[in-house]
């Protein structure tokens, strides 16, 4: 319920099961990009370097997401 809100009264309990994985994936993408952008916006110098080292997998995931986004935008293949 914390991630998607109430399952009742038009909530996710009524969603088709096929929606759960794409919604969860989109949430992970959002959280990844938000974490990296937040760190870059509020940290500088050594603090940012340390955060980046401690969160290397998150930073790499954000870079991969951006590469996919750039490729989709370049090819015009929005799905």
> 0.85 cut: is pTM over it?
no
In a domain, 8, yes or no: no
CA–CA distance, 79 with 72 (Å, rounded to integer): 8
Residue 9 placed within a domain? no
Residue 62 lies in a domain: yes
For the chain, what is the domain count?
Answer: 1
In a domain, 51, yes or no: yes
Mean pLDDT over all residues of the chain? 90
Residue 30 lies in a domain: yes
**Does any domain span residue 35?**
yes
Residue 43 maps to a domain = yes
- Domain that includes residue 69, residue range: 19-75
The C-alpha atoms of residue 31 and residue 45 are separated, in whole angstroms, by: 23
Residue 31 inside a domain? The answer is yes
Dump pLDDT digits (tens) for 34-65.
999 999 999 999 999 999 999 999 999 999 99
Query: Does residue 17 have a pLDDT over 90?
Result: no
Res. 75: pLDDT tops 70: yes
The two three-digit tokens of residue 21, written as one number: 């994985």
Quick one: pLDDT at residue 20?
A: 84
Instruction: Identify the pLDDT of residue 11.
Output: 79
- For residues 12 and 5, is the Cβ–Cβ distance under 8 A? yes
């Amino acid at each position: 319920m914390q991630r998607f809100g109430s399952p009742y009264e038009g909530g996710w309990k009524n969603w088709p099961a096929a929606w759960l994985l794409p919604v969860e994936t989109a949430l992970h993408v959002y959280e990844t990009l938000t974490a990296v952008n937040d760190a870059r916006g509020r940290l500088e110098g050594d603090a940012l370097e340390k955060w980046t080292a401690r969160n290397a997998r998150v930073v790499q995931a954000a870079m991969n997401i951006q590469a996919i986004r750039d490729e989709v935008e370049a090819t015009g293949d929005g799905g």
